[in-house]
A and B are shown apart, each in its own frame.
Chain A
Amino acid sequence: AQTVTQSQPEMSVQEAETVTLSCTYDTSENNYYLFWYKQPPSRQMILVIRQEAYKQQNATENRFSVNFQKAAKSFSLKISDSQLGDTAMYFCAFMKPLTGNQFYFGTGTSLTVIP
Chain B
Amino acid sequence: AAGVIQSPRHLIKEKRETATLKCYPIPRHDTVYWYQQGPGQDPQFLISFYEKMQSDKGSIPDRFSAQQFSDYHSELNMSSLELGDSALYFCASSLGRYSGRARDEQYFGPGTRLTVT
Contacts and interface: CB of A to CB of B under 8 A. Distances in A.
Chain B, interface SS category: strand
Contact of B108 (A33, A45, A95, A106): A45
Chain A, interface SS category: loop
B48 A105 contact: no
A102 B111 CA distance: 17
A115 interface: no
Interface stretch (B19-27, B39-47, B61-69, B70-78): B39-47
A95 B104 contact: yes
B31 interface: yes
Interface in B68-115: 88, 90, 92, 94, 97-98, 103-108, 110-111, 113
B18 interface: no
Contacts of A91: 42-43
Interface string A25-44: 00000000100010000111
Nearest to B50: A101
B8 interface: no
B110 A103 contact: no
Contact of B88 (A43, A46, A99, A103): A43
25 contacts: A37-B108, A43-B110, A43-B111, A44-B108, A45-B108, A47-B105, A47-B107, A47-B108, A50-B105, A91-B43, A95-B106, A97-B103, A100-B55, A101-B33, A101-B56, A101-B94, A101-B103, A101-B106, A102-B33, A102-B45, A103-B92, A104-B45, A105-B43, A107-B42, A108-B42
